[in-house]
Every structure is written in structure tokens, then in C-alpha cells.
């Protein structure tokens, strides 16, 4: 099951190699090194251009594994597991884990709770962590909702301490991939590279341009047409992060239940958004906000984006509207099949 899911996840956003584009720089092509692996329950593709590519890939892979071992909610020895099993006590964590948990709590406040890492007990109850799916009784959801709310997390910035109330637990699944993809491009830069790409499930983070100086071309998958695209995005030194209910879900009695939970209801979010891609240089914000916008639905999402002009987005709704930040006018090209659909620049 996991394998199939991973394949689906890797399709959400794709790097497009337009034939010809890369071929004018043979020296750069010889200097290309790339690697595909499975981590964080998804497919990871790393591409670097420059000297010592294989060595740098080894190092990136090592760092990726370190991050997974720190942030994973399913690895017992992770820092997140230590926080979750602290039974109401402060737990001191590394600076990076502290940063992610505290920024996640801030984004929860910013999104009026649409993004909330304390929704984990409910994610678990629905079986999204294990794949043993289950539709919980509403009484059970109501009792679990009582321990949801990032405002209840306590922080000690000096000791890097995090404290949950008894019964609470957190999951960085909606934010960690964006952070890690961003950090891996930073590592590439520190290693002296100026061109590279990290693809971590629905999270793509670009370092610089392609070696020939052109932006990276990223295709955003159509959420309801398996081999179709919403369009192609030109990306330089930024991240494109997609959330959508079509990536990970189960079906029971004719109902589809997808993996993003609305923390207000404790049930899978049912908004009019089928796919949302956030474009930003801040992978943390991009990952968390793409999840939040999906929960909010298009009306609230547009109001949120109006207040946060540093974030750009491409949203596809269930009534087949394609909503695009006007500042992406030059960088996003809707697929030709959208000629008959409603395209709205906001």
C-alpha cells in the first residue's frame, strides 16, 4: 500500500524536461548527478549540477535521514516522539525541532487553526499514519478534539523546551517536508553549488536556475486527470508546494476520506479546493500554508493570500476554476486544455 501511495505522491508535481532546453550546455549535463530514494514516506529526487556531485548527494542523503530520524512521528527515538511521550512534562529538543514546532504554532494562529500540528491524535484515529483506516464515531472525535489546539503548547526558548498537556500529541507531517527541502538546497549552496533541485513528495525547492540560466520548469498535476497538468511553473530559487486530497485517501461505503483533517471538525477537510500550490522562498510557510489553504476553501484562501502578498498560489476548485496570483502572470502557464475553463487572476 505504501509503495502505491508513494508513486501517487510523486506525481503531484513534476519537473519537466522540455526537450532541447538543456541540450545547449553539454558541459553542465556532464556535471549532473541525481538520485531517487524513498524517505519520509514519499519519493525523494535530488538533482545537483557541479563538481563532486555524487559526494554531495551522499551528504544530502545523510542529512535527509538525520532529519527524518528527528522529526518523524512514527520513529520511536525521534524528538517528536519524545515530545509526544512526555506525559505533560517539558522536553528539551534541538534548535531545529524547536524552530519547527514553534513556527508551526505561529502558523496555526495565523491561519485561525486551519493548520494545527496538534491534530495528530485525530489523524491517527482515522488511520492515516498506519494505513489501517477507520471512520471514527463522532463521540470519539469530539473527545479527541478537546486536546487539539496549538495555543496549548508551552515553549521555553532558553532551554529549547516544548511541553504538551497530557493527552496531546503533535505531528510535523504537514510542515517538515517543506523545511527539509529548503534546508537541502541551502546545504547545496554551502557546498558551493549554484544549481540544484530537491523534490520531496509534493514539495519542490529550487536552488538557482537550470545550469543554462533558464528557470526550472515545474508541472503541477491535474488533480482529477491522471496524466493531465494544471500548467507549468517557471521556478528560480523558490519552492512550489502542493496539497491536495487526491494524494492520500481511502474509500469506505462510497465515501472518500482524504488525509488533511479540518482541526475544527476532526474530519477530513471538505472544501471546494482540489489542489493548491503555494510558491515561496520559505519552505516552512509554503508547506504549512498549502495544507491550511486546502482546509480553508477558496474564499477564505483568497482572503488569506490578500493579506500575505509574499505567498503566491495556484488553486484549482471543484467547479473547475483555476485561481492564479496575478504576480505569477509571467511564471505560470496554464495548460492549453484550460482554454474553456474559468481562469481567474487574483
- 184, 260, 279, 305: residue in contact with ligand ADP (rule CB under 6 A): 260
Residue ranges in 295-314 that form contacts with ligand ADP under rule CB under 6 A: 295
263 near Mg ion, judged by CB under 5 A: no
Q: For the chain, how many residues are written?
A: 346
Residue closest to 278 by CA, chosen among 232, 238, 229, 250: 238
Contacted by 202, from ligand ADP, Mg ion, none: CB < 5 to 8 Å by type = ligand ADP
The residue number with the shortest CB distance to Mg ion is: 291
Stretch touching ligand ADP by CB under 6 A, among 59-67, 112-120, 139-147, 306-314: 112-120
Q: Exposed, middle or buried, 90 (CB in 10 Å: 0-12/13-18/19+)?
A: middle
Task: Please give the distance of CA 91 from its chain centroid, rounded to a whole number.
Answer: 26
Contacted by 123, from Mg ion, ligand ADP, none: CB < 5 to 8 Å by type = ligand ADP
Stretch touching ligand ADP by CB under 6 A, among 84-92, 114-122, 144-152, 228-236: 114-122
Residue closest to 180 by CA, chosen among 64, 311, 61, 40: 64
Mark residues 163-182: x for contact with ligand ADP by CB under 6 A, - for none.
--------x-xx--------
CA dist., res. 114 & res. 257, Å (int)? 17
CB 291 within 8 A of CB 269: no
CA dist., res. 92 & res. 122, Å (int)? 25
201 near ligand ADP, judged by CB under 6 A: yes
Mark residues 284-303: x for contact with Mg ion by CB under 5 A, - for none.
---x---x------------
CA dist., res. 49 & res. 203, Å (int)? 20
Stretch touching ligand ADP by CB under 6 A, among 144-152, 183-191, 243-251, 310-318: 243-251
CA dist., res. 84 & res. 167, Å (int)? 9
Contacted by 222, from Mg ion, ligand ADP, none: CB < 5 to 8 Å by type = none
CA dist., res. 259 & res. 59, Å (int)? 32
- 117, 206, 273, 279: residue in contact with ligand ADP (rule CB under 6 A): 117
Cell digits of residue 83: 515530545
Which pairing describes strands 161-163 and 203-207: parallel, antiparallel, or unpaired? unpaired
Nearest residue (CB) to Mg ion, 208 versus 283: 283
Name the site residues for ligand ADP (rule: CB under 6 A).
Answer: 115-117, 119, 123, 128, 171, 173-174, 201-202, 243, 247-248, 259-261, 263, 287, 291, 295
Amino acid at each position: 500500500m505504501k509503495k502505491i501511495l508513494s508513486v501517487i505522491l510523486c506525481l503531484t508535481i513534476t519537473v519537466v524536461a522540455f526537450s532541447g532546453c538543456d541540450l545547449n550546455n553539454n558541459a553542465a549535463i556532464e556535471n549532473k548527478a541525481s538520485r531517487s530514494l524513498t524517505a519520509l514516506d514519499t519519493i525523494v529526487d535530488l538533482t545537483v549540477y557541479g563538481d563532486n556531485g555524487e559526494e554531495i548527494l551522499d551528504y544530502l542523503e545523510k542529512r535527509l535521514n538525520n532529519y527524518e530520524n528527528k522529526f518523524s512521528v512514527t520513529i520511536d527515538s525521534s524528538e517528536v516522539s519524545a515530545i509526544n511521550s512526555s506525559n505533560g512534562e517539558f522536553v528539551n529538543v534541538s534548535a531545529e525541532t524547536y524552530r519547527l514546532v514553534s513556527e508551526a504554532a505561529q502558523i496555526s494562529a495565523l491561519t485561525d487553526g486551519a493548520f494545527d500540528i496538534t491534530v495528530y491524535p485525530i489523524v491517527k484515529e482515522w488511520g492515516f499514519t498506519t494505513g489501517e483506516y477507520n471512520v471514527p464515531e463522532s463521540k470519539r472525535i469530539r473527545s479527541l478534539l478537546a486536546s487539539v489546539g496549538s495555543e496549548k503548547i508551552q515553549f521555553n526558548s532558553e532551554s529549547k523546551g516544548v511541553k504538551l498537556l497530557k493527552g496531546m500529541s503533535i505531528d510535523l507531517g504537514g510542515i517538515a517536508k517543506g523545511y527539509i527541502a529548503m534546508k537541502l538546497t541551502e546545504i547545496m549552496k554551502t557546498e558551493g553549488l549554484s544549481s540544484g533541485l530537491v523534490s520531496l513528495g509534493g514539495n519542490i525547492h529550487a536552488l538557482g536556475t537550470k545550469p543554462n540560466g533558464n528557470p526550472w520548469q515545474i508541472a503541477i498535476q491535474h488533480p482529477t486527470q491522471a496524466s493531465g497538468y494544471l500548467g507549468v511553473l517557471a521556478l528560480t530559487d523558490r519552492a512550489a508546494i502542493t496539497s491536495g486530497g487526491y494524494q492520500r485517501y481511502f474509500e469506505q461505503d462510497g465515501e472518500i476520506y482524504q488525509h488533511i483533517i479540518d482541526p475544527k471538525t476532526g474530519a477530513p477537510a471538505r472544501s471546494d479546493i482540489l489542489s493548491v500550490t503555494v510558491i515561496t522562498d520559505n519552505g516552512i510557510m509554503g508547506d504549512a500554508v498549502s495544507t491550511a489553504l486546502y482546509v480553508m476553501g477558496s474564499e477564505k484562501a483568497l482572503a488569506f493570500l490578500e493579506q500575505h502578498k509574499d505567498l503566491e498560489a495556484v488553486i484549482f476548485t471543484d467547479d473547475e476554476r483555476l485561481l492564479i496570483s496575478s504576480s505569477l502572470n509571467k511564471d505560470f502557464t496554464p495548460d492549453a486544455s484550460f482554454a474553456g475553463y474559468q481562469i481567474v487572476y487574483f
